[in-house]
A and B are shown apart, each in its own frame.
Chain A
Amino acid sequence: SQKIEQNSEALNIQEGKTATLTCNYTNYSPAYLQWYRQDPGRGPVFLLLIRENEKEKRKERLKVTFDTTLKQSLFHITASQPADSATYLCALANSGYALNFGKGTSLLVTP
């Protein structure tokens, strides 16, 4: 069956450090992989999209890697800030099918 796995345990890091979140998937051949941020009680907000032929993508302090051989994406936040505390969702789909979301990883950045 198709699975999208994200660390279920919350990630606690100190301000200024780099946060790294993992997304692993099975039985997908996605053309894209996306990352979203969700704050408590609010809808997810799109952050980054990476295509299967892209190894890495950056946006300000965010970096995403996509390894289709390992079936894994890593999401990095450099110089993390308390305002980065949220749940981060990985999402992907096989071509022509609706997007599927992982359960998300909660990130807590402490001062």
Chain B
Amino acid sequence: DGGITQSPKYLFRKEGQNVTLSCEQNLNHDAMYWYRQDPGQGLRLIYYSQIVNDFQKGDIAEGYSVSREKKESFPLTVTSAQKNPTAFYLCASSIDPTGASETQYFGPGTRLLVL
């Protein structure tokens, strides 16, 4: 089956700990995105990547880091610098490298909770 997978479904973080959220796609899409969603809020863009080995900050990149070493993978690390990490994290991809207005395909999400 083609699609986007995210793991884990739930993730618990201790104070001062870095955690990494996985995102894998087998759609052969060039562009990938990470969003954060808080209750009752819209999706806010954290980082996006239009091509392998390149990525750009979104609106709320502080406290997060990403890598894009392979086309199919775009992991997100929530660092200890992110003081309010509890949220629902969504990964998405789109066909067009420009990515700007193209349809996005979303993964099932990872819910991050702080212990």
Interface residues of A (CB under 8 A from B): 4, 30-32, 34, 41-46, 49, 89, 91-104
Q: B109 near A43 (CB under 8 angstroms)?
A: yes
Q: Which residues of B sit under 8 angstroms from A94, Cβ to Cβ? A: 100
Q: B100 near A89 (CB under 8 angstroms)?
A: no
Within the complex, which residue of B41, B42, B48, B106 is in contact with A43, where a contact is CB–CB below 8 Å?
B106
Q: B101 near A99 (CB under 8 angstroms)?
A: yes
B88 and chain A: residue at smallest CB distance: A41
Q: B42 near A103 (CB under 8 angstroms)?
A: yes
Nearest chain B CB to A93 CB, angstrom units = 5
Interface residues of B (CB under 8 A from A): 4, 33, 35, 40-43, 45, 48, 58, 88, 90, 92, 98-101, 103-109, 111
Mostly helix, strand, loop or mixed at chain A's interface? strand
Q: B43 near A101 (CB under 8 angstroms)?
A: yes
Q: B98 near A45 (CB under 8 angstroms)?
A: no
A43 and chain B: residue at smallest CB distance: B106
Known interface pairs A98-B33, A98-B58; A34-B103 also in contact (CB < 8 Å): yes
In whole angstroms, how far apart are the Cα atoms of A34 and B105 in the complex? Answer: 12
B91 and chain A: residue at smallest CB distance: A43
A44 and chain B: residue at smallest CB distance: B106
A8 and chain B: residue at smallest CB distance: B40
Q: Which residues of A sit under 8 angstroms from B92, Cβ to Cβ? A: 43
Q: Which residues of B sit under 8 angstroms from A89, Cβ to Cβ? A: 42-43
Q: A45 near B42 (CB under 8 angstroms)?
A: no
Known interface pairs A42-B108, A43-B109; A102-B42 also in contact (CB < 8 Å): yes
B40 and chain A: residue at smallest CB distance: A103
